[in-house]
Amino acid sequence: MQPDLAIIIKYLEPGLVPMVDYVIEDASDGIGPFIAQWNVETPTQPTQPEIDAARPAALAANLNTKNLKLREDLGPSVYKMDLAIVTQIQSMIGAAVTVATPQMQTLLDELAAIDAAYPVT
């Protein structure tokens, strides 16, 4: 299941226009979204292994973009408060779970990457 397919395609090929250059559909069959149409010759349609390999970086970039947008929209003081809440949740999750699932570890790694890339001053 690939619920983040649109984010990954946008990350891999930022110059392409959704619904023009490619179409993502979901047949509601439990499999999830898929590339229904790829309307350009170059770049070629990404393979499933390419999509899978790009997923962590694409999601991190998407979170970084959202983080910057929050910082612009909310202003520094509200952003710091929001970051404090996220940090508190991180510590609560870490304290409550002795072995993190791969998904939880990915989330924690992505939050740490955002904190490192965009320190609050």
Identify the CA nearest to 12 among candidates 52, 54, 41.
54
Domain limits of the chain?
Answer: 1-45, 47-121
**Helix, strand, or coil (residue 53):** helix
Which tens digit of pLDDT belongs to each residue from 24-33? 999 888 888 9
Work out the percent of the chain whose per-residue pLDDT is above 90.
Answer: 34
pLDDT of residue 12: 95
pLDDT of residue 34: 94
What's the rounded mean pLDDT across residues 77-103? 62
Between vectors from CA 4 to CA 88 and to CA 49, what angle results, nearest 5°? 115
Provide φ and ψ at 22, rounded to 5°: -155, 160
Residue 69 tokens, joined: 């947008």
Which tens digit of pLDDT belongs to each residue from 99-121? 556 666 676 677 777 667 666 55
